[in-house]
Amino acid sequence: MLKMVFSTIMLLPMTWFSKNNMIWINLTTHGLIISLIPLLFFNQTNSNLINCSAHLSSDPLTTPLLMLTAWLLPLMIMASQYHLHNESPSRKKLYLSMMIFLQISLIMTFMATELILFYILFETTLIPTLIIITRWGIQAERLNAGTYFLFYTLTGSLPLLIMLLYIYNDLGSLNIMFLTLTAQKLTSTWSHNLLWLACMMAFMVKMPLYGLHLWLPKAHVEAPIAGSMVLAAVLLKLGGYGMMRLTPILDPLTEYMAYPFLMLSLWGMIMTSSICLRQTDLKSLIAYSSVSHMALVIVASLIQTPWSFTGAIILMIAHGLTSSMLFCLANSNYERTHSRIMMLSRGLQTLLPLMAFWWFMANLTNLALPPTINLMGELLVVTTSFSWSHITIMFTGLNMLITALYSLHMYITTQRGPLTHHITNIKPSFTRENMLMFMHLSPIILLSLNPSIIMGLTP
Amino acid sequence: VAHAGRTVGRLGEGDWDGKVSEIKKKIKSILPGTSCDLLPDTSHLPPEHSDVVIVGGGVLGLSVAYWLKKLESRRGGIRVLVVEQDYTYSQASTGLSVGGICQQFSLPENIQLSLFSASFLRNINEYLAVTSAPPLDLRFNPSGYLLLASEKDAAAMESNVKVQKQEGAKVCLMSPDQLRNKFPWINTEGVALASYGMENEGWFDPWCLLQGLRQKVESMGVFFCQGEVTRFVSSSQRMLTTDDEMVILKRIHEVHVKMDHSLEYQPVECAIVINAAGAWSAQIAALAGIGKGPPGTLQGTKLPVEPRKRYVYVWHCPQGPGLETPLVADTSGAYFRREGLGSNYLGGRSPTEEEEPDPANLEVDHDFFQEKVWPHLALRVPAFETLKVQTAWAGYYDYNTFDQNGVVGPHPLVVNMYFATGFSGHGLQQAPGVGRAVAEMILEGSFQTIDLSPFLFNRFYLGEKTQENNIM
């Protein structure tokens, strides 16, 4: 495990000591090399953790998310090259150091064996994200966005800390393996209900749940591209991961405590998808679509069947890659036209046909086209929620319909139709951008061929 | 120990005490309880980002803003910023305008624009309704226009009237006898033919339209800012045309808006810039680099709009024409109309090329009235021999020196600058139609309702004049 953590920590001195023209090359290359390491963890024959050390380990739930995080760092670095190229070298290096610091915290969060270590690193991820949003964001509203993001997450996670300390006092250890073995069944008293709530709220805010999602559109829209990518792809999955780690100790309260959150998620799915139909701002549309997809993950995590956990994990990986790809596409549009409005940049297929292909694939995976892993995840979640209650099929089915509607609307508005006059002289697509899209898309396609490696705890 | 501190200072390690006090000040400013001015207050500046920046807040600029907001398919879709350099509109053509609207043009597009404007003005309270404000009273006086033609212009007037009738304007031709019958105060010496607009023509209060547009546009969410556009930051790219010629296409991505009476400026990131600056449009175009090139090429074609000063005089004449008097445009170019109910009239005359006054300021030349306007008025309306001038003012025409018609649509080289200017005296009456045309061009890519392609910028380079013959 140290081979991952130390290599990522060492990226920090590499940033500061590199020559100015070698920063990007060095970091991208080494980031890609580091991303090969989680591949070693994929071959797990039983459901024991790959116990690399007493503090950091990796099990079939962690490994796909770890792979996603490690794969995303070189992609974030590639995506940030354009908007940082006018800044002074030390500010560039500062930005990259923030990203690397975030990466270190994320890797250790996913690999933590002990829940307190997980919590500390969970909170640590907030700081570099906040700095990236508020200092390098685009508009004046970014301060508001940063404040929303920070305080929503902090307020949600403070009760979690108290509960973790209480459970530690009670059980003696918060190691994940021990928890699954020694957890006692909770009784349905007020204090245990509050314990359930306190543990879950942090992750509900992070996912985000429909009623607590106000921070997400703001943070996503105001963040620079790397911030949006990491927020959409990884930070939201921290919530799902945390929920799946904590639910073994919260049995059997989840059966009835989860009802309000399940209702909110099912309703919120449709609400946020409908908001997407009305959006004019491209980044805002993708942000609301993230809320909608994550609502499915919340439903899956709260139903707690083996299939639903599998569906949740697959959906998390698939959505991470798709959402990040959509943000990169929106950003490439923004860098050229300096506007995030969809209707001011229409008919791009005639100008940039290859980029139109990436747009097409991203929108297809967003609407969960078979046989991509997006569909696998959604199908598993829909099936399990149907078996939990027949009525949920109305919500999930309607959500799939509306998702298809707004994804196709986004594609048709930006790519098809007559070209607008004022975008006839945009720069053609860079190789870097095409590479970025390819690197987002190829894992999705390859995983569609063998999704069993990301299927999680059940074989 | 106290000596050690000073020794360190003398060793040239810098002002340690100064640094410490700076750090202390910084910590104090962050602590709660003190006012935190780490970020400067920018509430008076325009926003840092706006999708569309409209340079010029007169009736044309506001009309474009209104139609952009009205035709966007989702509410709150486009962020529009209107930059106006003078909130008092002291020199803007809109407020100083005579306020007439007529359909008696020779170009079909002009007629269609005025027809649409007439229907817009009639239904103005449906278009510009704001829930918290009282309905608008445009004081539209539908008295019509009366254009008089001498022998040599009679044939042109007849063909013009034919075109106007084809387009749907309600115009009729009158012989000198019919004129004398209808308007007993007129002296038909030298008049061979007259055309009289019977419906949808007259005059109205331009301030009311401006304020109505302003209110409505603000309620639709458009940002306003008082400032001057001093710079466009653009990026250019060399591209090859289909004939393998090299062109440099520019794209404006930032507008620097300078605040009044200060050096402060705000760079506004934008996707589209609309030049609706009226008499100052040429300066704005020059800032964007239009016209910087060898003359005779597309790069060297400047925007041929310049400010021309026109005088308007108000006089009192108790024996003058009655309440049904239309706006009369004489064969000599002089015009007049009634103003209110108290025997006041206003009018003027376009000077010839040699008599053009200096547009540096808006000072009125009263001798011009005495020598150039009064004789013609007195000839046409004998009652005006005893008039008494009460007041006068001057305003600018955004005069298109090429063909006296407006410039609408995008520039071929600076691809995201759209024009809505150069209407040479009939901008006010065509503003609603032009605003809609520009908004359609931006949102749909082509003119949908009224086809204004004869008004595109290309004609200056290609030399194709769309001449309008009935300019006053």
Q: Which value does ipTM take for this structure?
A: 0.85
Q: Which of B48, B76, B415 shows the shortest C-beta gap to A422?
A: B415
A344 CA: distance to closest CA in chain B (Å): 7
Chain B neighbors of A139, CB-CB under 8 A: 47-49
Q: A187 in a domain, yes or no?
A: yes
Rounded Cα gap, residues A230 and A323, in angstroms: 10
pLDDT score of A178: 81
Please tell me which residue of chain B has the smallest CA distance to A343: B443
Q: What are phi and psi of A45, to 5 degrees?
A: -85, -25
Say how many CB pairs under 8 Å bridge A and B: 74
Contact call for B271 and A343, based on CB within 8 A: no
Strands B100-101 and B171-174: unpaired
For testing contact with chain B, the best of A282, A419, A420 (most B CBs within 10 A): A420
Closest CA to A408 of A318, A273, A293, A213: A273
Question: Which residues lie across from B396 on neighbouring strands?
Answer: B309
- Residue A435 belongs to some domain of the structure: yes
Q: Tell me how many degrees the CA angle A114-A119-A120 measures, rounded to the nearest 5.
A: 100
Distance of alpha carbon A144 from alpha carbon B41, whole angstroms: 15
Residues sharing a CB contact under 8 Å with residue A328, sequence separation 6 or more, in sequence order: A75, A79, A225, A229, A433, A436, A437, A440
Q: Name the residue of chain B whose CA is nearest to A275's CA.
A: B74
Closest alpha carbon to A77 in A6, A137, A148, A23:
A23
Q: Collect all residues of chain A within an 8 Å Cβ-Cβ radius of residue B49.
A: 138-139
Can you give the pLDDT at residue A369? 92
A window 37-66, beta carbon within 8 A of B:
none
Residue B383 DSSP one-character state? G
pLDDT by residue for chain A (459 residues), tens only, comes to 788 899 999 999 999 999 988 999 999 999 999 999 888 888 776 656 666 778 888 888 888 999 999 999 999 999 999 999 888 999 999 999 999 999 999 999 999 989 999 999 999 999 999 999 998 987 778 888 888 899 999 999 999 999 999 989 988 888 887 887 877 788 888 889 999 999 999 999 999 999 999 999 999 999 999 999 999 999 999 999 999 988 888 878 888 889 999 999 999 999 999 999 998 899 999 999 999 999 999 999 999 899 999 999 999 999 999 999 999 999 999 999 888 888 888 889 999 999 999 999 999 999 999 999 999 999 999 999 999 999 999 999 999 999 999 999 999 999 998 888 888 888 889 999 999 999 999 999 999 999 888 887 765
E strands, A54-195, in order? none
Return the SS3 of B44. coil
Among chain A residues, CA nearest to B413: A425
Shortest alpha-carbon distance between residue A420 and chain B (Å): 5
The reply to whether B237 touches chain A by the CB within 8 Å rule is yes
What would the pLDDT profile of B25-37 be if each residue is shown by its tens digit?
A: 888 876 666 555 5
Alpha-carbon separation of residue B105 from A417, B32, B163, B468, B472 (angstroms): 36, 69, 9, 7, 11
* A116 contact partners, CB below 8 Å, separation of at least 6: A164, A165, A168, A174
Q: Is B5 exposed, middle or buried (0-12, 13-18, 19+ CB in 10 A)?
A: exposed
In-domain check, residue A47: no
A105 φ/ψ angles, rounded to the nearest 5 degrees = -60, -40
From the list B51, B239, B415, the residue facing A339 with the nearest CB is B51
Q: Which domain holds residue A115?
A: 1-38+56-454
Chain A touched by B73 (CB under 8 Å): yes
Query: Number of structural domains, chain A?
Result: 1
pTM of the model: 0.88
Q: Quick check: is A46 in a domain?
A: no
How many angstroms separate the CA atoms of B135 and B119, rounded?
17
Taking the Cβ of residue B71 and every Cβ of chain A, the question of whether any pair is shorter than 8 Å is answered with no
Predicted confidence pLDDT, tens digits, chain B (472 residues): 444 444 444 444 567 888 888 888 888 876 666 555 556 667 788 888 899 999 999 999 999 999 999 998 776 678 999 999 988 898 888 988 888 998 998 889 999 999 999 999 999 999 998 888 898 888 898 889 999 988 888 888 999 999 999 998 999 999 999 999 999 999 888 889 999 998 889 999 999 999 999 999 999 999 999 999 999 998 888 888 888 888 888 899 999 999 988 888 999 999 999 999 989 999 999 999 898 888 888 888 899 999 999 999 999 998 888 888 899 998 888 999 998 888 899 999 888 888 888 888 888 888 888 888 899 999 998 988 888 999 999 999 889 998 888 999 999 889 899 999 999 888 899 999 999 999 999 988 889 899 999 999 989 888 888 887 766 5
User: Would you call B460 helix, strand, or coil by DSSP?
Assistant: helix
In a domain, A48, yes or no: no
Whether A49 is in a domain gets the answer no
The beta-carbon neighbor of A343 closest among B77, B237, B251 is B77
Q: Give the tokens for residue A13.
A: 């001195």
Number of Cβ atoms within 10 Å of the Cβ of A445: 14
Q: What are phi and psi of B447, to 5 degrees?
A: -70, 130
Residue A297: inside a domain: yes
Distances (CA, A) of A135 to A42, A91, A94, A324, B413: 37, 10, 11, 21, 36
| A408 within domain boundaries | yes
Q: At what angle do helices A306-337 and A373-388 cross, to 10 degrees?
A: 130
Least CB–CB distance from A280: residue in B76, B237, B446 = B76
pLDDT in tens, B174-213: 999 999 999 999 988 888 999 999 888 999 999 999 999 9
* Shortest Cα distance, chain B CAs vs residue A342, angstroms: 9
Tokens 């600076």 map to which residue? B414
List B residues 391-450 in contact with A (Cβ-Cβ < 8 A).
Answer: 410, 415-416, 418, 441-443, 445-446
Burial A161-187 (b: 16+ CB within 10 A, else e): bebbeebeeeeeebbbeebeeeeeebe
Searching chain B, which residue's CA lies closest to the CA of residue A334? B271
Contact A339 B271 (CB under 8 A): yes
Domains and CATH numbers, chain B: 43-140+203-304+401-471 (3.50.50.60), 145-197 (no CATH), 310-397 (3.30.9.10)
As beta bridge partners, residue A191 has: none
Touching check for B77 and chain A: CB below 8 Å?
yes
Residue B332 three-state SS: coil
- A138 interfaces chain B, CB cutoff of 8 Å: yes
Q: Which B-chain residues 160-189 have CB contacts (< 8 A) with chain A? A: none
Contact A422 B410 (CB under 8 A): yes
Tell me which DSSP letter residue A56 carries: B
